[in-house]
Each structure stands twice: as C-alpha cells, then as structure tokens.
Structure 1
Amino acid sequence: MNTNISTKVYQLLGVFIALLLVQAGILFYQTNNVTEESSKLMNQKLPLLLKAKDLQMSVVQVQQWLTDISATRGLDGLNDGFDVAKEQAEKFHKIIDSISQLDPQHKSDYQTLKPIFDNYYQTGISMATAYVEQGPAGGNRMMSSFDDAASAINIQVDTAVQRITKTVNADLQHAVESSKQSQLTVLAVFLGCCLFTLLALRFTRSAIINPLYKLRDTVKSLASQGDNEIQPISHQDLPQNEIGQTYFALNELIEKLQAKAAEERAIATDNGRIKKALDVCHANVMVADKNLNIIYHNDALVEMMEKATDAIQTQLPNFDPHTLVGSNIDQFHYKPEKQRSLLATLTSTYTAEIDLGGRIMIQIVTPVIDNGQHEGFVVEWEDITEERDIEDQIQTLVSEAAHGNLTNRIDLSDKSGFFKRLASELNDLMEVTDTALHDVVSMLSKMSQGDLSNRLDNSYKGVFGQLCGDANNMVEKLTSVVSDLNNSSENVATSANELASANNSLQARTESQASGLDQTASSMEEITATVQQTSANTSNVADMINNAARTAFEGEQSVGKVIEAMDSIQEASGQIDKIIIVIDEIAFQTNLLALNAAVEAARAGESGRSFAVVASEVRNLAQRSASAAGNIKSLITDSVKRVNVGVERVQHSGEVLNELIGCMKEVKELVDTVSVATQEQSTGVLQINKTVSSLDEATQQNSALVEELAATASDLASQAGEVKNSLSFFKT
C-alpha cells in the first residue's frame, strides 16, 4: 500500500486522539462523581460531624461550669460560671439550628433535643443556686435531679452524634469505592491507549522508521564516499510516498553535489595557484576572516615583521611573527572597537597608517564581500619607516634651501639602496648648486665694485658650465673694452692738451700781430718784417694745425674703436641676457615638474602626501632660483647701463672731435688766406693800407676763431677727463 506517510500519521493521530478523548470523558465523569462526593463530605457531612461534636462539648461545658459554681459557692471572682453556662446554652441552640439545616431529613429529631436540654440547663441552674444560697445541704438535694437531667440529655445527644457519624462513614466509604472505580476505569483506558500506542509504534517502525533507517544508512554510505565516488541511488522498489520522494530528492542533491564538487575542485585548484602566487610574491599579504582572525599570511609578511620585531615588541611584548595565524588583528590597534566599526561598513579599499613601536606601517585593506556580506579582509602591509625618514630629511633640506641655506646635507650613514643613491644625488645637486651660485655671486659682487680681474672655474658641467663660461667671456670682453677706452681717452686727452697749448700760442701771436698792425702805418720796414714774421708764423700755425688735424683724426678713429668695443659689450650683455633667460626657463621647467609631481602626489592620495610637500619645496626652490637669476640680470643690466653711458660719452667725444676737425679746416683756410695776404703785402706797398685793413679784419676773425678753438679744445679735454674718470672705476 503506497499511502502517504502523512496520511498514515494523521490516521494514527486521529485514532490516538479519539482514545484520548474517550479516556478524558471517562476520567471527567469519574472525577466529577468523586468531586461531588468529596464536596458533599466537605461541605455537609464533615461540618455536620463537627457540629455534633460541638453539641456534645456544649452539654459538657454547661455541666462543668455549673458544677464549679456548686463547688465554689459562687464566691467573688468565682461566680462567672453562670455567664459561661448561659453562653454554652445559647451555643447549643445555635448548633441545633445549624445541624437541622445540614441534615434536614432528621430536623425533627434534632429539635426534640432543645426541651430536654432546656430542662437540663434549668435543673443545673437551680442546683447551683441552691449551693450558693443554701449551701451543700440545699444543693445536695438538687444534685440527683441534675444528674438525671444530664444523663437524659447525654443519651439523646450521643444517639444523634452516633447517627451522624454512621452517616458520614457510609458516605466516606461510598466516595472511596467511587474513587477506586474511577481508578480502575482510567487504568483500563490507559492500558487500551498503551496497547494502541504499541501497535501504532510497530506500524510506524515498519512503515516509517525502517525506511528512514534505510535512508540514513544510505546517506551515511554516501557520506563515507569521496566526491568522485558518489553515485545516484537506485530507485527500484521504493515506496511511492514521502520517503520515496526523499530518495528522488536525494538523487537530485547527489547530482548537484557532484556538480558542486567539480566546481569546488576547480576553485580549490585556483585557490592553490593563488596561494602559491601569494607565497612567493614580494607584497606583504595577510588574510583575515570576518571576525578579524588571521587565517593566512605569506613569507614576505613574516620577513618584514622579523625585521621590525624588536621595535614592535616594545609595544607588543608577546609579539611573534611566526604565530600570527590564529591571532586577531585587534592586537595591532589602540582602539579595536573603532577599527571594527570601520571595517563593518567597508565596501572598497581603505588605506591606513599605524605606528608599531616606532615603525611606520601602511595597511591597505580590501574587503571580501559575497552577496552583500563580509566574508573576510585582505590586508597588504608596507613598512615605510625608511621612506618617511628620508622624506623628513629631504623636506628639511629643501626647506633650508628655500630659505637660502644651501649648506645642509642628508646623512648617508643609515641609508641603503635606492634611498642612499637618491640622498647622495641630492647632496651632489646641493653641492654643485651651492658652489656655482657662490662663485657667480662672488664674481658679480666684485664686478659691481669695479673689479674685473675675477674668473670662474670652468670645471662645471651642463647649464652651470655654460653659465660660468659665458660669465668669463663677458668679463674678458668688458676688460678689453675698458682697456681700449682707457687708451683712447688718454690719447684724446693728450691731443686736446697739445691743441690747447698750440691755440694759446696762436692766440698770443694773433694778439701780438694785432698790436703790430697799429704800428704798420709808422714803419713799412716794421710792416715788412712783421709781414714776413707773420708769414713764417702762419706756416708754423699751418703745420701745427695739420698736426692737430692728424691727431684729431686719430682720436676720431680711436673713438670709433671705442664705439665698436662698446657695441661688443652690448652684444655680450645680450648673450648674458639670453643666459639669464635660459636660467629662467630652467627654473620655470623645474617649477612645472614640481607642479606635475604635486598633481601626481595628489592622485596617489594619502601615500603621496609627503612627496607633495617635497614637490612644493622644490617648486619654492625653483622660484628662488628664478628670483636669483632676476637679481643677476639686474646686476648685468646695471653694468650694461654703465657701458651705455660710456658709449654715449664716447659718441659725444666723437662728435666734438668732428667739430674740432671742422674748426681746424677753417683755421687752416684762414691761415692760408693770411699767407696769401702776407705775400700780397710783400708785392706792393701801395696796397699796404688796404692790406693792413684786410689783415686787421682777418686778425680780428682769427682772434675770434682762436677763442672758439680754445673753448673747443678745453671742452674736449674736459670730456676726455670725464671718460677717463668713468673708466677708472674698472680694475683690470
């Protein structure tokens, strides 16, 4: 029969519930009967029996208290027996009424006790009164009557009590028998339920338990097999119920397990490759589960931790890099709860910097998330203690350089590898820059003081070598120009002095000639002699003027050479200006490279912050280099201005020499005219007056020209002195 297990279970459960209901009904009926009997006993029979006992006690109490009155004669303090006896008499009547209500069937019997008790009570009162009033003699006479009354009431009360006791015992026996009957009935029903339960268990074992055991054994057999050995279960002779369906579902599970096992083997193979790759990679990798317990680390991490063990143990005394697996990463943080709160909401890579005993560590944490849940964390460690130290030293070096101090150097004793090479090259750069700038500044400082004898060392390379070479060439050309200007100015000064001397002599002779003309009319001989002397003097003057003209021409050529030298100085100054432009371009490119480095450092995030600071300091250094180049350019510009002033003065001297040559040509023409006039004087005396007049006029003109020539010669000498004074500033 292929009835579903659930149907069978429901059927068995229905029968079992029906039996339980029958048992419950019978138990309820029997319990209700027992409860009614018990209630009747508790609420009626037992109170009735207790009231009967109280009734007996009331009779006894009346007899006792009245007898006490008889014995004590009712003395003061002993006469309360009448009151107590009265209370007991009233209590007796109340008990009779209560018993009548509890047992209404015998109410008439109970009510007949009242007159008998009243007679008993009154007889006792009379006896006690007789003892009190008449003494023993009177009381003893009433004693027998009281005893008879007491005997009568006791017999009636005892009879009533016995009847009540018998009734209560009978009801109690009936209740006991009913309880036993109920117990037997419940026991029978319970045995029936047990029998049914045994049958149901047997059925359940054969129909459900045994197939489940078989299913369990099958699952155990499958569990003991390897992933590659699990095979689907044969579904022949399987019941068409839930167990059979379970077998079919188990086959589906086996097929899925086979597929899952194949997938997991592939994943395990991939994980094995990944683990091998992590074991040999140079990155310091650690893997923790979702509870931050370390489950893996590679050899590179252990090697890094071994190098930093001494420092870390100052903070974590029990730290051991070889026992990290199984420990928790909370040990590396001062506030683990804050770290856990951060990691609980982490969805992307997070970079943190921690200090472990003075070692600066970078942690790059990447969460492993599956279906929105954190499964673990991959932590990449990096010890940047050396990088941070070199960054601080470079920052200090650049900061000092930015403030003009180029003497600071990086200590190489604790550096190695790349950082030692970097520090060494930075030291070399600072040394070359310091030396070159110091030499250039020293030379320019001496040039600003007029000292052109200093030269730079040509051992520099690159831009520094070009700067030193061009500076030396500039100084050489400037020295040559200054020397030529000195020589030319001396020649001009000498010629000007000679011209002034000749002009003074000519002026004196002209004055003498003018004086002689006054005596011309008095003596022809004197005139003739004077004319001859004038002719001779005119020839001398012509020679002197020719010499002065040649000297002025040579001075003009010297001035031309000076102008050419000044042009060369201007050209050299232009080349220096180009050099300064090159320095400005180098500073600009350095500034641009520093700006690009700052941008790349900003892209790098937290790890590039220090290099951003270094880039900023390098940019400041480039700006100072540009500023220094500007100062050099200002000094050279000042020198060029001085040279330009010299050029202007030399050009002005050339113009003066040109004017002087023109004047000399005019003087030469005048001297030639004087010579012709003198010859004409010698040819005829007739024309002497006319000639004297002409000569006098010519003499006056000569005097004016001589004065102009004297002024020109004096101005030329003065300007030549100024040029010489200006050139004396330079020391070659």
Structure 2
Amino acid sequence: ALRRLRGAMAQVAQQDYAVAIVDDGRADEIGALARDLARCRDALAQGEASAQMALFKARAFSGSSAAMMLVDRDLTIVEYNAALADIFRDNLAALRSRWPDFDPEALCGETIDRFLGDPPPPRALRSDPANLPHSADISVGSARLQLNIAAICDDDGQYIGASLQWQDVRQARADASILDAIRQNQSMVEFDTRFRITALNETFTRFFGWGDEAIGQSLEELFGASEDTRIQMQRLTEGRKVTRKIERRSKSGGRVWVELSMTPIMDRHGALDRVIEVGTDVTRIERARLDAEAERARNAAAQDLVVAELRRGLAALAEGDLTAVLETPFSAELDQLRLDYNAAREKLTGAIALLITAADKIGAGATAIAQASDNLARRTETQAATLEQTAAALDEITTSVRATAGG
C-alpha cells in the first residue's frame, strides 16, 4: 500500500493529475495519507487549470486587436495591451497637447484619473462597482477616444478591479457621418448573387417609389430587362465595378435618371457574395440638359430659316426682282430681321421708282432741248442766207454808186 502511495505521489509530482488514488477508502493512516494526497492532487490540478486559463486569458488580452486596459479597485493601471499602446502612439501629439508628460510606454502604476475629466469624479464614486459599466468620450485636440469601463469580480463576486476597452472613434464617427449623409441623399440598395433586392433605404423609395414590396424582386423585374443590364450584371459577377448614368422608370412610370455606382462584394474564394448599389438622382440636371438641347435645336432651326429666307430675298434683289417679300414669320427674337428686310425692300423699290420718274423727266427735257436746238439751227441758217443776200445787194449798190460817182 505504501509502495502504491509513493508511486501515486511520484506521478502527482510529475504533474500527472489523472493518477488514481486507490487506498483513500482505508480507515488507517495509509487511508488518511491517500485522502490527503487526493486532495493535494485535486488542488494542484485545479491550480494548473487556473494557471492555464490565466495564461490563456493573458495571451488573449495581450494579443487582442481590441484595445484593452486593466485597473485595480483603486483605478490604478495594472496592464494594457499593444493595441491600446498603438492608439496612444497614433494620437500622441494630441494627448501631449494636454498632458505633456504623457508616455504611452509607461502608464502602469498611474491612475486613470486624467482620462475621467477635469476634475475627475470623487474616488468613492469612481471605485464603486455599482456605477459600472460606464462609458465616456475623451476629446483631446484632434483625438476622439471612447472609453467603456466594466467591473471585474473574483470567484466569490468580490470587486477587484475593472477592464477598460478603448476605441479610436474619430475616423469611425467621421465615416458614420459620411455614410449617414449618403443615406440621406443617395439611394442604397443591396442585391444578392441573383440580383434580387435584399435591402434598400428610404432614399431609394423616394427616388423610385418602391418600398419593402421590392424586396425579393430582381433588378430586371423591377426596371425591365435589356441587353445592357445583362452585360452589367456579368461584369459585376466577374468582380468588376460598374459606374454609369442610366434612365429608369419609377413605380408610377415617371422617368428618373441616376448616376449609379455598383460595387461587387466578393467572398474569400473570389465569388460574388452581394452587390451594393449607390445612386444619385440627376433627373433635374438631365431634364435641364435635354431642355437645353431642344432649345438649341429650335434656335438652330430658326436660324436656318432666317438664313434661307434672307438668301432667297437677296438673290431676288440681285436679279432685279423687287417683288420678293419675306412672308414666313421668323422666331420672336429674329423676326425683326424679316421686317427690316421687307421695309428696306419697300424703300428701295420706292427709291428706284423715283429714279425712273426723274429719268423720264430728264429724257423728256433733253428731247425738248434737242428740238429747240434744231429749230434754232434752222432759223440761224435762214438768217445767214438772208444776210448773205443782203450783203450781195449792198455790194451791188456800192458798185453802182462808185460807178456813178466816177462817171
């Protein structure tokens, strides 16, 4: 019996806590020793299990991606992990702007008073587990940290300290604000691998009129099938993002234009898991663009009419046709050109008529002058002949007088 007892003790000493103690039922001293050995074995086994669990928890604590800190019941820092040290280092400049001596590598032994406000709450209040769990926001410079404190109790339920979980919430809150703004102003809808709607937001309902009744319907059932839609779905299935502007019909049949960004979410094997669609309503912009294009087309047609009519009228004038009137009205802003042309044509016609009348008068005057000149010439010739005859007669008289005087 003693040999068995010594063998069992040796196995326990070698941390074999599964060894059987066979003599613990005896009523003598060997039985008492066996029972003591059994209790020792069980205590050692429990201690080793506790040590293993403590090691497991310590490894989990130190290797956790969650930023953690442990404090005792006086809120003195006992331990903190690498993830928390990383947060402190990332925000070191902001933290030192308030606490110049802040050292993220040497916080153990300090209290967490500095993080709980200025001044911090009374110690009795801070150390009372009845006030836990507790959450606090820490804003220092550009740093935005969130602190969640939970009580730690021993196996007997006695308060022995607290765990503090830290989060750097600056980017997360900025992202949340951006996402909230997106939800408020852009439609968001989620499709499964068969492009059936699994979720949508209120903005999607506002854009298209479809609410929860659209859940379970496919993209093509909701907005119609087309070759283009099938091509885009194939691209998404292959993991390629789709960005485009598209016209869709709302539930009431109205035309809605949206700028879409469809992002495929792939699983770890590279297969499509789901699709997230974000859309911006550009209906007003698109309608304004279409209206502007229609207005430009109308203006171009009006200008073409003006050019054609003016060309026709000017060509007629160039050929001497003063009867070409522009009768087809132009657009309101260009019709004055037509009126001005017609007025100019009418004035030109009147001016030419006056010129013709004046020319006729000049022609008649010239004819009269020519006739008077002819008459004057004939009278002049007659008078010249008479003078010639008179001169001849005078010569004869002179000759006779001279003869008489000489004789």
Report the TM-score when normalising by structure 1: 0.23
Q: TM-score, normalised by structure 2?
A: 0.38
Relative to its length, the structure with more helix (as a share) is: 1
**Structure showing the higher strand proportion among its residues:** 2
The structure showing larger relative contact order (alpha-carbon pairs under 8 Å, at least 6 residues apart) is 1
